[in-house]
Structure 1
Amino acid sequence: MSRVDIVGRNVLRGALAAIALAGLAACGTAPPKPTPVADSAPGLPKAGIYKVGNPYQINGVWYYPRVDYDYDETGIASWYGPGFHTKVTANGEIYNENELTAAHKTLPMPSLVRVTNLDNGRSIVVRINDRGPFATGRIIDMSRRGAQLLGFEEKGLAKVRVEVLAEESRAIAAAAQASGSAVQVAGAADGSPPPVAAPRPSVQVEGQALPPPAPTRTIEAPTSVAGRTDEDGRFLPAPVVQQERLPAGPQQIWVQAGAFTIYDNANRLRARLTSLGPSVLSTAMVNDTQFFRVRIGPLTTVEQADSVLAQVIGMGNNSARIIVE
């Protein structure tokens, strides 16, 4: 039974024959095999579209989807499975809990990201094809198989790092757009245009009008990512677990209340938050711009971080989030 605390998801109902991914190239103990699923509706299409999507609001919090090939953040991961298995994802695919997919609040669909469990060093690549998680304080919602491979299925939550694979994400995004309809409403965070598939040349033979070529859904295996392309054209990452070297010492949990380019603004917020726990003000450089970050912590447990985060948001800081460092 899933332990993930998902508040809501706008999904349609559907059904599909599930494909259990097998095999594992991993360091250390092999995670359990995927759970078999009955063949409930053979032949149901699974392919989705390329989608960024409009800004949306869940429980009073606004989210702004965008193309961001520099995305690299830490936080708390959850997972979702039986309650959503065979339902339609936000980009029109059929969710299969045994595939390596995940839900993210803002990244384009599809995108490829590397998720690393900061407690045990296990790291896998998954494809973003859904929106979520909408429980406050969660950074990504893994499929059940992803949670198994990262080793937190039983625990339900994990401290993770999520890094977008830029080159690979551009490749599968272009292929998805070439296959048909695409929804694109936001530009890239780095100012570059969104990925667009190359145009197909027209072919003319004298005296004969040729019909237009049938659309294709071919996706070449992205560089450095093992996987395969299924019959519907989706690139499916292989269940390969890498063992990453973690920083020395435990990864601590913080609530980041805000980040400012003006020191006085950051310091005023820090002073307001002192009643919630130890607050610190630190600096960070992002694209040659200095930011002043206001954080509360370190915090002992995810439950404590959830409580502090709720209070920080309740004070009007809707961009607050949980981070791991």
Structure 2
Amino acid sequence: MVSARGLSLLPVLMLVLTSCSTQYSSGVVQESNAGRYSISQDRGPDQTQTLSADDIVIPTPRFEPISPRGNASPYVVNGRQYYVLASADQYVEEGLASWYGAKFHGHTTSNGEVFDMYQISAAHRSLPLPTWVRVTNLENNKSIIARVNDRGPFHPGRVIDLSYAGAVKLDYVHKGTARVRVEALSFDGGGSSSPAPVGQTAYYVQLGAFSERNSAEALRDRVSGRVQDTVRIDHSDLFRVRIGPVDYDRALQLQQQLTSPELGRPMLVGAN
């Protein structure tokens, strides 16, 4: 299931989030029958089943292999093509978070698991499934760990969809959305985790990662005339097209400037 979520708790929230259910087929996401859901509009649980933040347990991150389901790339939703990142390494992004709940409760996520709105989980358009992330509400500085096991949100401007429990824990469930920072966790050989670079003074704006150098060079040449900053190709396992290093404010400015249907949303990575 791939979902752009909606809310019906408050009228204003119905304008904030929309719902869309999809499924994978041959690497392409196809629209599914909305009738498989028992309710048409998303919402939180009944009042007798609501959670308090103290009731919610933050999951413990652990190393996991990439799921055999939910990682087809590219995939298409509502006529738009999306690409899954080859790696979540050093992924950092800021933007709006939304949430999803009762409509999808008990249905399968993109990687084939069962969605439980009472547990912390998340949906993301491009991170590999599963990926563990730290999500910080920049409006109140509250932070949680979440496991990304679903696709979405597909509403413009959103960077992550948290489960109902996640939104309760970050204290934006009634507001509907919050500005957040999403940081992928990396794992060392012993399995312990740490966030992608935080507090860095320099960043790269990553435009894409390719297995073939000529594809990376084509993207570098296409973007070079649009910015005054250095556009480079870094090569380790992949040929990564990056702008920088630049400071954080410039990185955010470039990310906003270059976000487009053609390029998608560039990601920020810390400069080592």
1:8 counterpart = 2:30:
no
Larger Rg: 1
- The answer (yes or no) to whether the contact 1:79–1:141 under 8 Å persists in 2 is yes
- SS state at 2:96 partner: strand
Query: Distance in 2 between the 1:152 and 1:107 partners?
Result: 23
Query: Distance in 2 between the 1:282 and 1:75 partners?
Result: 23
- The answer (yes or no) to whether the contact 1:137–1:321 under 8 Å persists in 2 is no
* Residues 282 and 82 of structure 1: CA distance in aligned 2, closer, same or farther (over 3 Å): farther
Q: After TM superposition, give the deviation of residue 58 of structure 1 in Å.
A: 1.8
Counterpart of 2:78 (choices 59, 65, 85) is: 59
1:158 paired residue number? 178
1:223 paired residue number? 192
2:143 paired residue number? 123
- SS state at 2:169 partner: helix
Q: Which runs of 5+ in 2 are unaligned?
A: 1-7, 24-31, 39-44, 46-51, 57-65, 209-218, 235-240
1:63-103 deviation per Cα after TM superposition (whole angstroms, max 9, x unaligned): 11133222111111110011111111111111000111101
1:188-207 to 2 correspondence within 5 Å?
Answer: none
* Residues 223 and 129 of structure 1: CA distance in aligned 2, closer, same or farther (over 3 Å): same
Identity fraction in percent: 34
Counterpart of 2:100 (choices 66, 80, 89) is: 80
* Residues 282 and 294 of structure 1: CA distance in aligned 2, closer, same or farther (over 3 Å): farther
Query: Distance in 1 between the 2:154 and 2:174 partners?
Result: 20
> Which moved further from structure 2: 106-115 or 53-62?
53-62
2:226 paired residue number? 266
- SS state at 1:165 partner: strand
TM-score by length of 1: 0.47
- The answer (yes or no) to whether the contact 2:37–2:104 under 8 Å persists in 1 is no
1:138 paired residue number? 158
* Residues 282 and 118 of structure 1: CA distance in aligned 2, closer, same or farther (over 3 Å): farther
1:31 paired residue number? 53
- The answer (yes or no) to whether the contact 1:76–1:322 under 8 Å persists in 2 is no
Query: Distance in 2 between the 1:296 and 1:107 partners?
Result: 22
Aligned length: 193
2:116 paired residue number? 96
Query: Distance in 2 between the 1:286 and 1:100 partners?
Result: 37
- The answer (yes or no) to whether the contact 1:14–1:86 under 8 Å persists in 2 is no
Letter in 1 for 2:81: W
Query: Distance in 2 between the 1:93 and 1:50 partners?
Result: 12
